[in-house]
Amino acid sequence: MASLSLYLGLLVLCTLALVHCDLNGGPVRVYDIHASNLKRWLFIKPSPYVKVWCGSSFHGKSNTLEKQENPVWPGEFNFANILPHAVLTVEVWDDIVGLDLHMGTCKIPISPGTHSEICQLKRGTIFYTYSYGYVYSY
């Protein structure tokens, strides 16, 4: 009888541990962000920048890269404690004095590991890599 109680107790503890792991968030890192063939009307080269969200957390925006159809944004965006299945949102904007032009939005639910994404925009294509969870290097 004692062994049955022990097994049930272990089963309850293991179940609680799994639920606890599912509810804990992990870090998200978004990097290697670049785009190709970004177009503005009237054959003017765009001055693009990106805005990045993960779940309800807004990280901010990148630097504006002047007159770039194929920009490569340096740096990365980091988020802490993001819950599983949160949506990663990357928006591309063209910095026009007085009125910025929305070039497109990419939204994907995150999953553990490292992933390279390609997203077709209204006015070009954006590429980026994200990692979710703790990535260990030895």
Supply the pLDDT for residue 3.
Answer: 63
Token duo for residue 23:
């509810």
Tens of pLDDT, residue by residue over 62-74, are: 999 999 999 999 9
- Using pLDDT thresholds of 50, 70 and 90, give the confidence band for residue 59: confident
Question: What residue ranges do the domains of the chain occupy?
Answer: 26-132
What is the assigned CATH class of domain 26-132?
mainly beta
Q: Please say whether the beta carbons of 94 and 84 come within 8 A.
A: no
**Which pTM value belongs to this model?**
0.78
Q: Which two tokens stand for residue 115?
A: 């992933």
